[in-house]
Amino acid sequence: MANYMTLNDGNRIPLVALGTSRIPAEKIEGCVKIALDMGYRHIDTAFHYGNERTIGKALREYMENSNLKREDVYITTKLDSCYMEENAVVPALDESLRRLDLEYVDLFLIHGPYALQTLHHFPEKSPLVSEFMPVDLRETWKGMEATVLNGKARSIGVSNFNSKQLEYICETARIQPAVNQVEVHARFPQKKLHDFCKSRNIQLEAYCPLGSPFFKGSGLVNAIQSSDNLVEHPIIAKFAEKYRRTPGQILLRNIVQRGIFVIPKSETPRRIKENIQIFSFSLSEEDMKKIDELDNGVRRFKLSHYDGHPNYPFHTDF
């Protein structure tokens, strides 16, 4: 299996990215450099994570001290909910690029469909909750298209969109979204949304691919699943033994084998390393089906602070 896939715009994307949300500030630089050492060529960040500046510094230093060139690395960042008015999108990406010290990003995603009141400045870290603001997602999408047309983003897409919201922007889009980054793991495999995206040639990208086993952020995550640690699940442990891999590698391989790319987060060097070593084995069809049976339809990230927003995405089936 190749370590890349091709998006609907012809651009290639590495199948494994380092997820960087919640890596502590003092560790982020080291983690990015370790990941690059281990062969990662895709880093996932966002204005919202407050780490673009440090990631940019780590990348720059790494490139200065190695043969790695800008075009060898794939960088994803995201449009914050505070810049979703059409005219705010290009300046928001410009600000991310300034922090990242880059001339372009490979992938620029709308972080979520829930617009917040537009900020006309750029604080160091975006506020988690602000006033809800109704914005027509087609307007935001026009702003996203402008970032491709001005050469600052190679590919554009969305995150946390449901099928109806995707359909809505696709109907009038001049550039179709290439990616939808959503929660995907063995407990919540997003089969229907995946089928929908496949039918539109939109690539699904899995956040929380390990089920975010240790995260307990109040209000953000589903309490039922907080006590359900996929990495310790007996079926996953059994397959880890059978394939002589770790439980994390089984969970990630399962998703990648479904044709979905993954962004595991780790701040632990040993795990950063194992999370990219998933291309030298494959799970049998029968074992893939056994993992399918773990689906309990329970979403881990409820994003409940956006519940009540007219564009809150998780009240529909998919």
Task: Catalogue the active-site residues.
Answer: 49
47 sits near ligand NAP (criterion: CB under 6 A): no
Nearest distance from C-beta of residue 67 to ligand NAP, angstroms: 27
- Give one DSSP letter per residue of 178-231, joined into a string: -EEEEE-BTTB--HHHHHHHHHTT-EEEEESTT--TT---TTTB-HHHHT--GG
DSSP state of 119: P
253 sits near ligand NAP (criterion: CB under 6 A): no
203 sits near ligand NAP (criterion: CB under 6 A): no
Nearest distance from C-beta of residue 66 to ligand NAP, angstroms: 24
Residue ranges with strand state E in 54-184: 74-79, 105-110, 153-159, 179-183
Separation of alpha carbons 43 and 274, rounded Å: 16
Residue closer to ligand NAP (CB basis): 56 or 209: 209
Separation of alpha carbons 85 and 137, rounded Å: 9
84 sits near ligand NAP (criterion: CB under 6 A): no
56 sits near ligand NAP (criterion: CB under 6 A): no
Q: Contacting ligand NAP (CB under 6 A), which of 51, 54, 77, 246?
A: 246
Q: Is residue 243 classed as helix, strand or coil in its secondary structure?
A: helix
For residues 282 and 305, the answer to whether their CB atoms sit within 8 Å is: no
Residue with tokens 């651009």: 11
Residue type, 153: A
Which positions from 153 to 172 touch ligand NAP by CB under 6 A, shown as an x/- string?
------xx------------
Sign of CA pseudo-dihedral 34, 53, 216, 80: negative
Stretch that binds ligand NAP, among 81-89, 135-143, 195-203, 213-221 (CB under 6 A): 213-221
Which positions from 95 to 134 touch ligand NAP by CB under 6 A, shown as an x/- string?
----------------x-----------------------
Q: According to CB under 6 A, which residues from 220 to 239 bind ligand NAP? A: 231
Stretch that binds ligand NAP, among 35-43, 210-218, 276-284, 304-312 (CB under 6 A): 210-218
CA nearest 100: which of 146, 63, 141? 63
Residue closer to ligand NAP (CB basis): 149 or 224: 224
Give the chain's count of helices (H) and strands (E).
11, 10
Q: Contacting ligand NAP (CB under 6 A), which of 91, 164, 214, 242?
A: 214
Helices 86-100 and 137-149: angle between axes, nearest 10 degrees: 50
243 sits near ligand NAP (criterion: CB under 6 A): no
Positions that interact with ligand NAP (CB under 6 A) = 19-22, 44, 111, 159-160, 181, 207-215, 231, 246, 248, 263-268, 271, 274-275, 301
